[in-house]
Amino acid sequence: MGVSGKTSKVSAVVAALCIVIYIGAIAFGTLQIVKNIGERRNLAETEFQDLTDTASSSAVILGFMSEPYQQTIRDFLAASKTLLGAIISASGNEYAFERESGRGIVWAGTSPRLKIGPGLLDKSLPLRIDGQRYVNIYVVYSYLDYGFLLMVLRNILLAVLAALAIAFITLLVEMIRKNRGIYYRSAAPGAEVKVKQAGPKPAPGIKPSAKFSAAPAPAKEQSEKEQSKAPLPELELPPEDEEAETRNPQGLFTTRGNVGWEAYLHDRLSSELHRCASSEQDLVFLVMEFKVLRSISDSQYRQFAGEAVSFFTMRDLIFEMGENGISIIIPGADLEHGISRAEEFRSRISARLPETFEGRSSLCGGLSSRSGRLIEADRLMLEASRALEKALEDPVSPIVAFKSDPEKYRDFIKAKG
């Protein structure tokens, strides 16, 4: 299993864990709130019963609605945890008491009324005082403890933030691992590419195209003793001049266009094809070249490559191709999308670099896509190269796409097997 398969499994596990944390935090918080509401309802019933007992006994001892009697009712409400206000009605008179002004009582003229609203209820109970007078006591109480509610909401928020932090850290680790996997072969191509390999291996019955000649791989650092024992590669050494030195891969990106070396294209395209196949994504490979210009200056090419990086945004998926060409890997795109992107980039070059290229040359492009096939990099490069050759020869269509034939592709796979 590749790196992409492992990271996709890790992502699925972390996503499931985050969902469980979200649901668990909300469910636990809801249960806490419901439980607290039930407890406060029971407490309100108990405090209401205590209030009636206090009102009855105080009326006998202190006298009904005397100043000490009223102060006793006010002190009881001030010490209560749930009761907000009370109305005592006797002989057509109503007396209002509140724990906090405006919390439990509203006035209709000179008549007090209990304030009914969200979280508030009213109750009444007839009370016999001195065996002669019947007194009704109405109370209003809150069954929501807002301090407790804020604490539960804060705990839910902390749990959600913790889950988001886990998801972010996992995403960051996956990006780092993916980048390491992407650049590993590019950082040390000599460990994977044989020195004798001259270029991509063509499919049976098709002549190879000269568009993708592989540059020599960078040699490893060896001691003088190891170099003397190592056999010489069967390649003609390049001329020892400054231009040849700039064509040899040194680092990830070229000194001429600040994009990928052409020698790295095959390995990177192979890894991207494998990744897209494992995640069932499509992929487009695009090659572009100027029709008339066979050689352009370094400054002109640097402008052209810079526009390509700005338009396609991923520098590590763009590579030099010959003297005036460029190749681009576009993962997650189908053939139609690739054609549209190529046309847009061609228009961008004509608009932004008119003095450099417009009127002297025409930018052409050839492209091919994976199209659900388990295709090798050599084959995809060859298809795009042949499409580019058609575009360079066609005076009308500057962008040509290679559309695969499923029947011919199956025959090709059978013949190859």
The whole-chain average pLDDT of the chain stands at 78
> What is the distance between the alpha carbons of residues 1 and 6, in angstroms, rounded to a whole number?
7
Q: Does position 208 have pLDDT exceeding 50, yes or no? A: no
- The residue range of the domain holding 283 is 252-416
> What is the distance between the alpha carbons of residues 384 and 386, in angstroms, rounded to a whole number?
5
- Is residue 366 within 8 A of residue 212, CB to CB? The reply is no
Based on the fold, state whether residues 258 and 395 are members of the same structural domain.
Answer: yes
Give the model's pLDDT for residue 214: 42
Whether 234 is in a domain gets the answer no
For the ranges 111-120, 133-142, 268-277, the one whose mean pLDDT is highest:
268-277
Based on the fold, state whether residues 264 and 410 are members of the same structural domain.
Answer: yes
Based on the fold, state whether residues 263 and 143 are members of the same structural domain.
Answer: no
Based on the fold, state whether residues 127 and 14 are members of the same structural domain.
Answer: yes
Based on the fold, state whether residues 133 and 261 are members of the same structural domain.
Answer: no
In the chain the first and final C-alpha atoms are separated, in Å, by 23
Whether 213 is in a domain gets the answer no
How sure is the predictor about 240, in pLDDT bands with cuts at 50, 70 and 90?
A: very low
Give the number of other Cβ atoms within 10 Å of residue 101's Cβ.
8
> What is the distance between the alpha carbons of residues 159 and 152, in angstroms, rounded to a whole number?
11
Whether 152 is in a domain gets the answer no
**Listed residues 97, 114, 147: the one ending a domain:** 147
C-alpha to C-alpha distances, 109 to 106, 112, 230, 280, 307, nearest whole angstrom: 9, 8, 108, 75, 78
Whether 65 is in a domain gets the answer yes
Whether 164 is in a domain gets the answer no
List pLDDT tens digits, range 260-289: 999 999 999 999 999 999 998 999 999 999
Whether 109 is in a domain gets the answer yes
Give the model's pLDDT for residue 202: 43
Q: C-alpha angle with apex 287: 248 to 204, nearest 5 degrees?
A: 90
Based on the fold, state whether residues 256 and 387 are members of the same structural domain.
Answer: yes
- Is residue 295 within 8 A of residue 280, CB to CB? The reply is no
Nearest Cα to 305, choosing from 280, 283, 323, 284?
A: 323
**Listed residues 102, 131, 147: the one ending a domain:** 147
Based on the fold, state whether residues 134 and 257 are members of the same structural domain.
Answer: no
Based on the fold, state whether residues 123 and 256 are members of the same structural domain.
Answer: no
Q: Name the least confident of 84-88, 171-175, 238-242, 289-293.
A: 238-242
> What is the distance between the alpha carbons of residues 44 and 163, in angstroms, rounded to a whole number?
38
DSSP letters, 18-29, are HHHHHHHHHHHH
Whether 161 is in a domain gets the answer no
CATH number reported for the structural domain that contains residue 369 in this entry: 3.30.70.270
Whether 336 is in a domain gets the answer yes
Give the model's pLDDT for residue 324: 85
CATH number reported for the structural domain that contains residue 70 in this entry: 3.30.450
Nearest Cα to 341, choosing from 283, 295, 256, 302?
A: 283
How sure is the predictor about 127, in pLDDT bands with cuts at 50, 70 and 90?
A: low
List pLDDT tens digits, range 24-63: 999 999 999 999 888 888 898 898 889 888 888 888 788 8
The structure's pTM equals: 0.42
> What is the distance between the alpha carbons of residues 296 and 369, in angstroms, rounded to a whole number?
29
**Listed residues 147, 163, 198: the one ending a domain:** 147
> What's the total number of domains in the chain?
2
Based on the fold, state whether residues 141 and 257 are members of the same structural domain.
Answer: no
